[in-house]
Chains A and B, each alone.
Chain A
């Protein structure tokens, strides 16, 4: 318990370092009929900066991996010792292109305490259908093969940090 408490305090510090993006309360996601992306260009330019910072200190192991097939999913996601964030995304989805790098950054901050799996819903439709994905991006948090949390749409860096923290903390 004390251990957890300590960890939590560390996160609190790290969260403060993160640039505060204008927080959006509205959910931006791609369902079948909306691909709204209002202030996208501005956000992308912000991100591009912060991403280049992150890239200058690359972690040893890759932060995320692309799921290859059902078998790969079972092995690296369901049977994973670490909690895993599954990022269901699509090439045609604008918001996914914003969320993906943000999520990657949030995961990288945890220095290997959480893994991130990327699933292209058009390449692995069965997986997305099985996990009830209706709109993208959908992020599912899994631990020991059980779904422990999920969200749909865009979140800012702070929201992602707290989501990831919660997943590890559980």
Chain B
């Protein structure tokens, strides 16, 4: 039992302190000479938050205050910080709360009881990265993922587009195609083999999908290990802080959260012509297609179209790509056309300036037979042809229309379904954020989504201020001759700086590995775009050749560092490689000089 003396006075003091705490957003019990107290007071000054400070060494009954505080909070030392009636603690605790975001939450009065601190909608690269990082920072996190099957019934596991129906299977099938070229080259290098070389689609498909299966499982395990609650259900908003989830069996459950991250990604767009959903496939179906697609028509000229058309051709299939206007919209057109020319030289047929208007099934089967009718974009000419498979790759739609965003008040661009965000990935609704492919005007790339997701979680819960940098993002298109790029396209550079203010250096090159088999001379091409107004800084990097991803990645670092043409020139090349061409670019496009290369 504590000694009971001067009970009335004590109670009065207690009431006084409690009133202070209740009437002020922030109360700091401090001592004027204490450096920790100064630190806390400075923090609130910096945050521009008015705080009521009681300097206990300067008031008459300061000691009694301190004793009473000990009774109330169990803490003897100062400072003692109260925010919205909650005892935050001393200096360290307050700084920590500021760092992990809970101080801001307390300040904004957002301490209502939600089921979760954060709910992430979408278990793709971005959503998983964000949820795991948030959980790592001590937050209670849920991630929801649900794959709506394609019209053909294809479905897949956890991990999103890249893992299941994008980068991963695409690159493995591209590798399958590169091996075909390697087998042809091998004879020139002295390899002798008798058997005719055949490709077995099913073996490749199974091997690729087995690897994907292991990745799906790995993601699931890492969510468990990081204490992220994973639910395989479709989520939609019913209120700004509340979602409804529906699982495979149709069971509905409701969850609330203080914050949300939208990371739903995109799905392939269909054409909206008779027979498209009934008879055509998309990249969502291709990578797990149980049978070899046979004679294939690829519709579209997106990178998905060119990559798929490219590897299918290399597998020995009869492939036609139907292009409405240009190849690889948004990419450097000089490079896009060169990548296309290489494909054409290597057996891909192109039908240009035509759009399909009707797909009819002539015969069911695996694969069946389809009749495609297409119309010229310029005349009334109609063409017809038969294919075993029609692959639509005309772009992707953001999955933002069926997740109840209107109920949460999130603004969506009605034209393309994309979500506008500020430079901190925040939507117009402050507690709802968005990352990845659904963002308006941002890159649709897995590593970008991962980076954005991770940094977002660190800003929300780790006190970080680092924002995702969407500039100079390196990327590669895995066409048969790969195209790597970083920075601006030539068109964009001219638009931004003017033709006269940029200098383009370029060169063809012949990889050493191509010389012995004597193939593809003067097909590979390197180009950099320099800003003459800024010390010849390299603002665009373009590479068409083998291993483009490996080459471009390193130059991406250089461009992040703001490398100039001079720095490229003084860098010593590695001989004999393809990438060394960038240390020796002498001919400017303006000069019209000879860019063919031969020998060392």
Partner-B contacts on A (CB < 8 A): 30-33, 35, 90-94, 121-122, 125, 129, 133-134, 136
B213: which of A33, A92, A129, A134 is its contact (CB, 8 Å)? A92
- Interface residue B465 (Cβ < 8 Å from any Cβ of A): no
> Can you list 24 residue pairs at the A/B interface with Cβ under 8 Å?
A30-B217, A31-B214, A32-B214, A32-B215, A32-B218, A32-B219, A32-B221, A32-B222, A33-B214, A33-B218, A90-B217, A91-B213, A92-B211, A92-B212, A93-B213, A93-B214, A94-B210, A122-B217, A125-B220, A129-B220, A129-B224, A133-B221, A134-B225, A136-B217
CA distance A69 to B209 in the complex (A): 25
Q: Which 10 A-B pairs have the closest CB atoms?
A: A32-B218, A92-B213, A92-B210, A134-B221, A129-B224, A30-B214, A92-B214, A35-B214, A32-B214, A32-B215
CA distance A94 to B217 in the complex (A): 14
CA distance A92 to B224 in the complex (A): 21
B123 cross-chain contacts in A, Cβ below 8 A: none
CA distance A30 to B209 in the complex (A): 14
A8 shortest CB reach to chain B, Å: 37
A125 cross-chain contacts in B, Cβ below 8 A: 220
B225 cross-chain contacts in A, Cβ below 8 A: 134
CA distance A136 to B214 in the complex (A): 9
B397 shortest CB reach to chain A, Å: 28
- Interface residue B511 (Cβ < 8 Å from any Cβ of A): no
CA distance A133 to B224 in the complex (A): 10
CA distance A32 to B223 in the complex (A): 13
B212 cross-chain contacts in A, Cβ below 8 A: 92
Chain B residues with a Cβ closer than 8 Å to the other chain, count? 17
B171 shortest CB reach to chain A, Å: 15
Known: A32-B221, A122-B216. 7 other contacts (CB 8 A): A35-B210, A91-B213, A92-B214, A93-B213, A93-B214, A121-B217, A129-B220
Q: Is the beta-carbon distance between B209 and A31 smaller than 8 angstroms?
A: no
CA distance A1 to B218 in the complex (A): 44
B157 cross-chain contacts in A, Cβ below 8 A: 122
CA distance A125 to B157 in the complex (A): 11
A123 shortest CB reach to chain B, Å: 12
B214 cross-chain contacts in A, Cβ below 8 A: 30-33, 35, 90, 92-93
Q: Is the beta-carbon distance between B224 and A122 smaller than 8 angstroms?
A: no
Q: Is the beta-carbon distance between B210 and A91 smaller than 8 angstroms?
A: yes
CA distance A29 to B213 in the complex (A): 14
CA distance A66 to B518 in the complex (A): 57
CA distance A91 to B211 in the complex (A): 11
Within 8 A of A (CB), among B295-354: none
- Closest residue of chain B to A122 (Cβ to Cβ) is B213
CA distance A121 to B218 in the complex (A): 12
Within 8 A of A (CB), among B198-250: 209-222, 224-225
B210 shortest CB reach to chain A, Å: 4
B327 shortest CB reach to chain A, Å: 35
A16 shortest CB reach to chain B, Å: 37
Q: Is the beta-carbon distance between B211 and A35 smaller than 8 angstroms?
A: yes
CA distance A91 to B220 in the complex (A): 16
- Closest residue of chain A to B223 (Cβ to Cβ) is A129
CA distance A32 to B211 in the complex (A): 9
B214 shortest CB reach to chain A, Å: 5
A30 cross-chain contacts in B, Cβ below 8 A: 214, 217
A119 shortest CB reach to chain B, Å: 13
- Closest residue of chain A to B225 (Cβ to Cβ) is A134
A136 cross-chain contacts in B, Cβ below 8 A: 217
With A122-B157, A129-B224 as contacts: A32 and B210 at CB distance below 8 Å: no
CA distance A121 to B220 in the complex (A): 11
